[in-house]
């Protein structure tokens, strides 16, 4: 079945350093979503990418969707302690609903 793989599983950085998490799918995706879950919290939607090669920015966060629509990345520039949490990529199970398959997530810790 469809799988979404995400690396690395954990990443620790010093405040101010950059951070990147990568997401790969075994199949071509129609779109991909990214969510953030703070410690003790619930996943919160960050963004959706739809087009091949798409790049979107949200302040210090840059999201990319691969040309083949099989991979995606999230890059955070100059991390802050507020960036701490787990970042998930997610793809739709099928085109018949809103069910999502999530990557295992990358847990980011930041020391000041």
The nearest distance, CB 37 to another protein, in angstroms, is: 9
Among 72, 88, 108, 110, binds another protein (CB under 8 A): 88
Non-local (6+) Cβ contacts of 9 within 8 A are 104, 105, 106, 107
Q: Which is nearer to another protein, 37 or 77 (CB)?
A: 37
Residues 11-70 within binding reach of another protein (CB under 8 A):
30-31, 33, 35, 41-45, 48, 50
If one asks whether residue 92 binds another protein (CB under 8 A), the answer comes out as: yes
Residue 40's Cβ-count burial label (10 Å; 0-12, 13-18, 19+) is exposed
Among 12, 53, 93, 111, binds another protein (CB under 8 A): 93
How many helices and strands in the chain, by DSSP H and E?
Answer: 0, 11
* C-beta separation of 15 from 110 below 8 A: yes
* C-beta separation of 78 from 65 below 8 A: no
Sign of CA dihedral 61, 40, 8, 67: negative
Q: Which is nearer to another protein, 19 or 35 (CB)?
A: 35
Q: Which is nearer to another protein, 59 or 99 (CB)?
A: 99
For binding to another protein (CB under 8 A), which residues are involved?
Answer: 1, 30-31, 33, 35, 41-45, 48, 50, 88, 90, 92-105
């Amino acid at each position: 079945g469809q799988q979404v793989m995400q690396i690395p599983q954990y990443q620790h950085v010093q405040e101010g350093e950059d951070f990147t998490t990568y997401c790969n799918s075994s199949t071509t995706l129609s779109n991909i979503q990214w969510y953030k879950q703070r410690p003790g919290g619930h996943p919160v939607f960050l963004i959706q990418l739809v087009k091949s090669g798409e790049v979107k920015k949200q302040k210090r966060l840059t999201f990319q969707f691969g040309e083949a629509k099989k991979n995606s990345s999230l890059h955070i520039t100059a991390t802050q302690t507020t960036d701490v949490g787990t970042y998930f990529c997610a793809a739709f199970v099928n085109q018949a609903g809103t069910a999502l398959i999530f990557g295992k997530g990358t847990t980011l810790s930041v020391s000041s």
